[in-house]
Chains A and B, each alone.
Chain A
């Protein structure tokens, strides 16, 4: 089925936040810190206030008076809304101007005079814990260093023992560099506080509108029923629009102060400098194995750079997200990881960019390590994987760090990918090319994802359990409206969720309107990220449709003067068993349910239902990726020639949309592996704060993707569907890097850090690798 959303988007008739216009609306702009670390001596706003078109200038001191200078983060830290004592990263919010038009608001920023006293900055995470390192968070009582947390998973003693006696061990340091999701639409908000009704309405491209409403209620002291968050059409989120940013709070305060609606839209450089970054994991991986390639144990140490405020978006009990799925797709006896988080003078974030709560890092770690082991053993990397992949009969499988994988047929997927790619032929071609001095690489990545957070018992965001609601109302004429708590940012929910209802009830999907994003209209839930919409809201949708079907059965029985026990559901009708002609369609039942038909005791009439779905487990989609690259030995330029991707996300609700999701994620992987990095100099200047330097793949860097599919349904999901949106972003970077490292094997290269730009590849080839995240190595 083609998408319902397209009709408005292809005509330029979508409504994104910046398209919202309200009478009397004013415009906000943020003054940002030029320093990474500096004490604020004074802020003089008098000239800005004298600007004829300026209506308000808000500083940290203004907010401190309202007890709003700081706000809670999703990781139980606090973050400055507008800086009061110090600035802690370049681009941090210092003051907020409200003016009559956006150009004047920007003009007025130039009129604010801030006196800074620069401080030494902590930029290299590896130096954050050194004695004498500058203390970034001296606002926190008793804080004398930059350590945030230590966290571990798995069995340390058993893992250490396996490494003691292993025939072969390999170790490799690797950096998953700081990148940014960079949705094409930046963040912003239109806040409208109505003094008469006391109601606050906020239009904002948030992926989690209900969570935002609850947090605003907690922080601002407004009652929840007086707050309406509307997430309109969103121009891509990719995890960058989960949390609350200072600009949203400023727009709200600006509206309260001026009594007018206030719009704030950040520009691209602000988006890259200050909103949620992704990754920035410094990892040391180790594998223990037998000489014939049987993997026995994996050990990992991670240093996590969280920036100046710990704002990482993840379930409360998981400070390193789901990183501990790092044992991957392999039958491994034991595993252990320890993760240490540190503060640095950079923007907050960490979990974003389709990471499924750090699964990107986990998959990259294990898939690189398996290749490092293959190189050590002189074994083909695909063969090594086939020897160690979990077998279908082992599911449900409990991993050494406690995850219960739901289902999988891994060897089938990898063999399909190898067939599609013509793996043996590729290796023969590579051998020929090597003999001629040409560099060709073949990279394999096999991943297991963990998506659909999650069971309320273990998973919550700031105390809010990760269950999601759904409401379904069938109108008298048999058309329906479904209200859900997830929030599309392009993933096609308005189409696919209508399809789920359609399949369950026999209503054409075109007759099902899907409502999302308006907290006054939709049931509570935690939104869309972590590929959780299909696993959680999709399940809720199937269940609520089944509740309606059950109700329809009772009404149909009354219509047919039969016992409900004698009815069967087929082809969108309830009919008498053995007499299909005596049946009623859902449309007929809907009309009767709203009529004067006499219904059994306790049945109230109408045809609707509500549910809350608390998932019993995550879903575990998987995939086998093979990437082929050519590398120019003279320039270091990498060309992705082919990319074969076999994905298994269980039942595919809409194959066209699933494939589009995978295409987008593969482009992410190519971009991260070859182009993207947020680099800093030693003073903390952000060197990737625009699209001039932060490079995104264009149509020229992406090959025509070659997709394959296997179907292994999730046994715990009502329609057997698993999440998929982030799979390709999770699985593809390792395939590209493995391919490039494979191409560089003649030079004895075993590892090279992303992004593999021509300059970096050239340096690696010449034995002089370079830390791309720091301008000063």
Chain B
């Protein structure tokens, strides 16, 4: 069984894994990171989105062995010392979640979106989140939340 080294939410793990083990199952079943859920079996829904070396990736479509040597950030690794990441706070403020099941993946995808475009238009946000399905919100408040998150993060960066 291959042995991999992977950093998840700032902690380094060494794990023996079957080559076929999916990254999302490594996170959920082996490391107890159940904040990242599974919503489909065809890579459409994006509920399992994490940051893999800084870029958003659907963790149901990555083998754990492919993450060897990588840095993974999940929803549980955002925010420091109990405080919320601005994007998490924005989702709360704008009522951008209901059942909460798409939320972890949606927040991670939104953070990656802002990496590419720190001040996105509504159209850019909708395109950027096209890989993440939500059944509850009708997306409207998610778009608002990402705009708000972008503003907050912009402020955070511009502050001395």
- Determine whether the beta carbon of A10 is less than 8 Å from that of B135: no
A619 to B159, CA, bound (A): 52
For residue A698, CB closer than 8 A to chain B, the reply is yes
Please tell me which one of the listed residues B38, B135, B142 contacts residue A236 in the complex, with CB atoms under 8 A apart.
B135
A692 to B78, CA, bound (A): 31
Interface residues in B4-40 by Cβ distance below 8 A to A read 18, 20-21, 25, 28-29, 32-40
1/0 per position for A4-48, CB-CB distance to B under 8 A? Answer: 011111111111101101000000000000000000000000000
Closest Cβ of chain B to A529, distance in Å, is 15
Say what secondary structure dominates the interface of chain A.
Answer: loop
Please tell me which one of the listed residues A3, A18, A267 contacts residue B37 in the complex, with CB atoms under 8 A apart.
A18
1/0 per position for B128-157, CB-CB distance to A under 8 A? Answer: 011111111111111100000000000000
Considering only CB atoms, which chain B residue lies closest to A12 in the complex? B35
1/0 per position for B66-78, CB-CB distance to A under 8 A? Answer: 0000000011101
- Determine whether the beta carbon of B127 is less than 8 Å from that of A10: no
- Determine whether the beta carbon of B135 is less than 8 Å from that of A699: no
For residue A704, CB closer than 8 A to chain B, the reply is yes
Closest Cβ of chain B to A474, distance in Å, is 28
A518 to B10, CA, bound (A): 36
Please tell me which one of the listed residues B32, B137, B143 contacts residue A704 in the complex, with CB atoms under 8 A apart.
B143
Considering only CB atoms, which chain A residue lies closest to B38 in the complex? A18
Residues of the A chain whose Cβ atoms lie less than 8 Å from the Cβ of B137: 660, 663-664, 667
For residue A184, CB closer than 8 A to chain B, the reply is yes
- Determine whether the beta carbon of B40 is less than 8 Å from that of A691: yes
Binds B, one of A413-421, A489-497, A761-769: A489-497
A186 to B39, CA, bound (A): 7
Closest Cβ of chain B to A394, distance in Å, is 33
A-to-B contact residues, CB < 8 Å: 2-3, 5-16, 18-19, 21, 101-103, 182-186, 233-236, 238, 267-269, 489-492, 656-657, 659-667, 690-692, 696, 698-700, 702, 704-705
Tell me whether A660 and B101 are in contact in the complex, defined as CB-CB below 8 angstroms, given that A11-B79, A235-B37 are known contacts: no
Residues of the B chain whose Cβ atoms lie less than 8 Å from the Cβ of A656: 95
A666 to B138, CA, bound (A): 7
- Determine whether the beta carbon of B140 is less than 8 Å from that of A182: no
A21 to B28, CA, bound (A): 11
Closest Cβ of chain A to B54, distance in Å, is 19
28 contacts between A and B (CB under 8 A): A6-B92, A10-B97, A10-B100, A12-B35, A14-B101, A15-B34, A16-B101, A18-B37, A19-B28, A183-B99, A184-B39, A184-B102, A185-B99, A235-B37, A235-B100, A236-B101, A238-B135, A489-B99, A490-B101, A660-B138, A660-B141, A663-B137, A663-B139, A664-B98, A667-B139, A690-B42, A700-B126, A702-B140
Please tell me which one of the listed residues A238, A665, A696, A699 contacts residue B125 in the complex, with CB atoms under 8 A apart.
A699
- Determine whether the beta carbon of A704 is less than 8 Å from that of B39: no
For residue B57, CB closer than 8 A to chain A, the reply is no
- Determine whether the beta carbon of A6 is less than 8 Å from that of B136: no
For residue B65, CB closer than 8 A to chain A, the reply is no
Residues of the B chain whose Cβ atoms lie less than 8 Å from the Cβ of A690: 40-42, 44
Residues of the B chain whose Cβ atoms lie less than 8 Å from the Cβ of A185: 37, 39, 99, 101
Tell me whether A236 and B130 are in contact in the complex, defined as CB-CB below 8 angstroms, given that A18-B37, A267-B41 are known contacts: no
- Determine whether the beta carbon of A184 is less than 8 Å from that of B135: yes
Residues of the B chain whose Cβ atoms lie less than 8 Å from the Cβ of A491: 98
Residues of the B chain whose Cβ atoms lie less than 8 Å from the Cβ of A489: 99
Residues of the B chain whose Cβ atoms lie less than 8 Å from the Cβ of A267: 40-41
For residue B88, CB closer than 8 A to chain A, the reply is yes
Closest Cβ of chain B to A64, distance in Å, is 31
Q: Which interface class (under 10, 10 to 19, 20 to 34, 35 or more) fits B?
A: 35 or more
- Determine whether the beta carbon of B136 is less than 8 Å from that of A660: yes
Closest Cβ of chain B to A235, distance in Å, is 3
A10 to B99, CA, bound (A): 11
- Determine whether the beta carbon of B75 is less than 8 Å from that of A702: no
A698 to B21, CA, bound (A): 29
Interface centre among B20, B103, B135, B141, by most A CB within 10 Å? Answer: B135
Closest Cβ of chain A to B131, distance in Å, is 8
A10 to B104, CA, bound (A): 7
- Determine whether the beta carbon of B135 is less than 8 Å from that of A696: yes
Closest Cβ of chain B to A24, distance in Å, is 15
Tell me whether A660 and B98 are in contact in the complex, defined as CB-CB below 8 angstroms, given that A182-B135, A691-B42 are known contacts: yes
Please tell me which one of the listed residues B41, B99, B102, B132 contacts residue A269 in the complex, with CB atoms under 8 A apart.
B41
A699 to B106, CA, bound (A): 11
Residues of the B chain whose Cβ atoms lie less than 8 Å from the Cβ of A691: 40, 42, 44-45, 133
A7 to B93, CA, bound (A): 11
- Determine whether the beta carbon of B36 is less than 8 Å from that of A12: yes
- Determine whether the beta carbon of B139 is less than 8 Å from that of A699: yes
Closest Cβ of chain A to B152, distance in Å, is 14
Tell me whether A10 and B107 are in contact in the complex, defined as CB-CB below 8 angstroms, given that A182-B135, A235-B101, A491-B98 are known contacts: yes
Closest Cβ of chain B to A625, distance in Å, is 13
A267 to B22, CA, bound (A): 15
Considering only CB atoms, which chain A residue lies closest to B101 in the complex? A235
Considering only CB atoms, which chain B residue lies closest to A15 in the complex? B34
Closest Cβ of chain A to B67, distance in Å, is 17
A125 to B78, CA, bound (A): 52
- Determine whether the beta carbon of A14 is less than 8 Å from that of B98: no
- Determine whether the beta carbon of A2 is less than 8 Å from that of B95: yes
- Determine whether the beta carbon of A12 is less than 8 Å from that of B139: no
For residue B47, CB closer than 8 A to chain A, the reply is yes
A664 to B139, CA, bound (A): 8
A618 to B31, CA, bound (A): 48
Residues of the B chain whose Cβ atoms lie less than 8 Å from the Cβ of A6: 91-92, 97, 100
- Determine whether the beta carbon of B39 is less than 8 Å from that of A10: no
For residue B117, CB closer than 8 A to chain A, the reply is no
- Determine whether the beta carbon of B97 is less than 8 Å from that of A9: yes
A775 to B115, CA, bound (A): 44
- Determine whether the beta carbon of B138 is less than 8 Å from that of A705: yes
Considering only CB atoms, which chain A residue lies closest to B122 in the complex? A704
Considering only CB atoms, which chain B residue lies closest to A698 in the complex? B130
Closest Cβ of chain B to A296, distance in Å, is 37
- Determine whether the beta carbon of B95 is less than 8 Å from that of A660: yes
Tell me whether A268 and B143 are in contact in the complex, defined as CB-CB below 8 angstroms, given that A10-B107, A11-B75, A667-B138 are known contacts: no
A234 to B41, CA, bound (A): 19
Tell me whether A5 and B100 are in contact in the complex, defined as CB-CB below 8 angstroms, given that A11-B88, A16-B37, A18-B38 are known contacts: yes
- Determine whether the beta carbon of B143 is less than 8 Å from that of A2: no
Residues of the B chain whose Cβ atoms lie less than 8 Å from the Cβ of A15: 34
Please tell me which one of the listed residues A182, A234, A699 contacts residue B99 in the complex, with CB atoms under 8 A apart.
A234
Closest Cβ of chain B to A546, distance in Å, is 29
Closest Cβ of chain A to B61, distance in Å, is 13
Tell me whether A268 and B40 are in contact in the complex, defined as CB-CB below 8 angstroms, given that A6-B92, A9-B103, A11-B79 are known contacts: yes
Residues of the B chain whose Cβ atoms lie less than 8 Å from the Cβ of A662: 138
Residues of the A chain whose Cβ atoms lie less than 8 Å from the Cβ of B138: 660, 662-667, 702, 705
Residues of the A chain whose Cβ atoms lie less than 8 Å from the Cβ of B98: 236, 490-492, 660-661, 664
Residues of the B chain whose Cβ atoms lie less than 8 Å from the Cβ of A14: 35, 100-101
Considering only CB atoms, which chain B residue lies closest to A728 in the complex? B138
A236 to B97, CA, bound (A): 11
A665 to B78, CA, bound (A): 30
- Determine whether the beta carbon of B47 is less than 8 Å from that of A184: yes
Considering only CB atoms, which chain B residue lies closest to A3 in the complex? B95
Tell me whether A704 and B140 are in contact in the complex, defined as CB-CB below 8 angstroms, given that A12-B104, A103-B20 are known contacts: yes
Residues of the B chain whose Cβ atoms lie less than 8 Å from the Cβ of A659: 95
A267 to B39, CA, bound (A): 8
Closest Cβ of chain B to A669, distance in Å, is 10
- Determine whether the beta carbon of B140 is less than 8 Å from that of A705: yes
